[in-house]
Amino acid sequence: MKSGTIYQVKIIDINENEIQYRTYANPDGPLYRVSRSMVYRIKQEGGYWEVINIIPVGKKRRINTDETRRHYIGMGILDLIRTDFTLFYEYLLPGNKIGLRIPFTYGFRSAYFNTNPTLLAPIPFYRNTVFKTGLELRIYSGQGYGKVRYVFSPSVYYLRLNRVPSDYISSSPDFMVFRTENALRFMIFNGIQICPVEYIQFGLDLGFGADVDFGGSALYLTNIPLNPKAQLNLHLGYKF
C-alpha cells in the first residue's frame, strides 16, 4: 500500500477503479475490495513487482518488507567446531530494532579436549559444555531495510559443564574423572547481521564477559569462581 502496509492476498480481479482480493490464508473466504489509488505495487509469487501507482516525489516511503518477518531460527556454525550443537529462536519486536533470542546448546562430545576454554585457562584443563541455554537481548541499528545491520547484545546463560578437577591428573582421557558443574555466563556481544538474499541471514558476533562457577571450591577449574571469557560466534538462519 502507499501507506507502507503490506498484505498477503490472493488477487481475484484488477480493474480501472479497484482491486478485488481474498486473504491468502483463506482463499475461499469473503471477497474484499480496495481502491486502486491506495495501492503502490504488487509483488507476484515469482518475485516480479508490478507498480500500480507511482508515489509523488516528496511523499515516497520506503516499504519495509521485513516488518512482517518477526521470527528468526538458526544455528551456530562455529559451535560445531567446539563440538557443540546450537539452535536458537529469536523474536523481533515491532520496529525491528530489538530482538529476544533464546539459544539451546547440546555438547555432543563432552570429553577428550577442552571445548570451552577461558582466558585464564585456555589449554591445560578439560572443560566441556554439556548443555547451555539463556537469553540474548539483541539491539539492531536501522529499521531492517539494508543488507548489513550492526548489533549490540548483552546476554546471560546457564551452563552445565563437564570438567576434570584441578587436583586430578591423567595422560589418558579414557580414564579421567569428569565431574559435572554449573555456571552462569555473562557476555556483551558486538557484531553484524548480513542478509545476502531474502529470508536468509548470516551473523558474526564477538563478545567478552565471564563465567561465574558455583559448586565446591575444590572443583573450580582455576580455583576461583570467576573466569573471564571471550567468544566468537558465526550463525546462519532463516527469517519468516
Question: Are 158 and 207 part of one and the same domain?
Answer: yes
Does the pLDDT at position 167 exceed 80? Answer: no
**What per-residue confidence (pLDDT) applies to 89?**
97
User: So what's the pLDDT on residue 125?
Assistant: 63
Nearest one of 46, 37, 48, 47 to 2, comparing CA atoms: 37
State whether 87 and 22 are in the same domain. Answer: no
- Residue 110 near residue 129 (C-beta atoms within 8 A): yes
pLDDT digits (tens, 9 = 90+) for 202-229: 999 999 999 888 764 444 444 556 788 9
Same domain for 219 and 187, yes or no, is yes
β-pair partners for 102: 89
Nearest one of 72, 81, 69 to 233, comparing CA atoms: 81
Nearest partner of 124 among 113, 110, 135, judged by Cα = 113
Same domain, 34 and 144: no
Per the model's pLDDT, the better-predicted residue between 77 and 121 turns out to be: 77
Q: Could you report the per-residue pLDDT of 85-101, keeping only the tens digit for each?
A: 999 999 998 878 899 99
**pLDDT score at 55:** 58
Domain that holds residue 89: 71-239
pTM for this prediction: 0.67
Written as nine digits, the cell of 122 is 585456555
As a whole number of angstroms, the distance between CA 104 and CA 85 comes to 8
How far is residue 76's CA from residue 87's CA, in Å, rounded to a whole number? 7
Same domain, 163 and 222: yes
How far apart are the C-alpha atoms of 26 and 29, rounded to whole Å? 5
Residue 137: CA atoms inside 13 Å, Cβ hemisphere, count?
A: 5
State mean pLDDT over 92-119. Answer: 82
Q: How far is CA 118 from the centre of its chain?
A: 24
Max mean pLDDT among 22-36, 52-66, 132-146, 161-175 falls in 22-36
Q: Does position 164 have pLDDT exceeding 90, yes or no?
A: no
